[in-house]
Amino acid sequence: MPDTASLKAPIIPSAPFWLGAGGILPFAGATLIFLFARTPEQRQFGLQAFCVYSAVILSFLGGIRWGAALPAPSFRLLFRAIMPSLIAAGCLLLPPNYAVPLLGASFLMLGWSDSTHVEHALWPRWFKRLRLILSVAVVCLHLVMLLAIRGVFA
């Protein structure tokens, strides 16, 4: 008989869950500002806020990976840990119609990697599950913002 305890989804502790969920709010807020802006300046503000916050969070995720690599540092793991910050900084120099999809794709790749790869074996299962949930939400908001930039909701 299989061990049913190992088949259950890990329970995410409430503090990381709510703080992580709260981290989605600036993405959603900036998207709403962009979508419902009454002036071009308000639209620009929403878009800029979205891109800046996205870059900050992408850098934060690189820092998490750096910390995860410290017990057994290798060039490969540490190099992969600095890539999110480099991509984020580069995106801040790009026009939003390029930055938003690149940031979204970066969140997609990191979310998949962080929730599935064995190299993060030191991370608790609940954290991998939380990363997956938050990544899906963030990628969806990047998709909404990209569609909004392209005028799909106009």
pLDDT band for 15, please (50, 70, 90 cuts).
very high
Q: Check residue 153 and give its pLDDT.
A: 85
pLDDT band for 119, please (50, 70, 90 cuts).
low
More confident residue, 19 or 7: 19
Contact indicator for 30, 43 with CB cutoff of 8 Å: no
Q: Check residue 3 and give its pLDDT.
A: 47
Q: Check residue 125 and give its pLDDT.
A: 87
Q: How far apart are alpha carbons 141 and 128 in whole angstroms?
A: 20
More confident residue, 124 or 31: 31
More confident residue, 127 or 86: 86
Q: How far apart are alpha carbons 15 and 68 in whole angstroms?
A: 20
Contact indicator for 104, 142 with CB cutoff of 8 Å: yes
What are the structure tokens assigned to 84, written together?
A: 């999110």
Q: Which residues lie closer than 8 Å to 80 by C-beta, 6 or more apart?
A: 65
Contact indicator for 30, 49 with CB cutoff of 8 Å: yes
Q: Mean per-residue pLDDT for 64-68?
A: 90
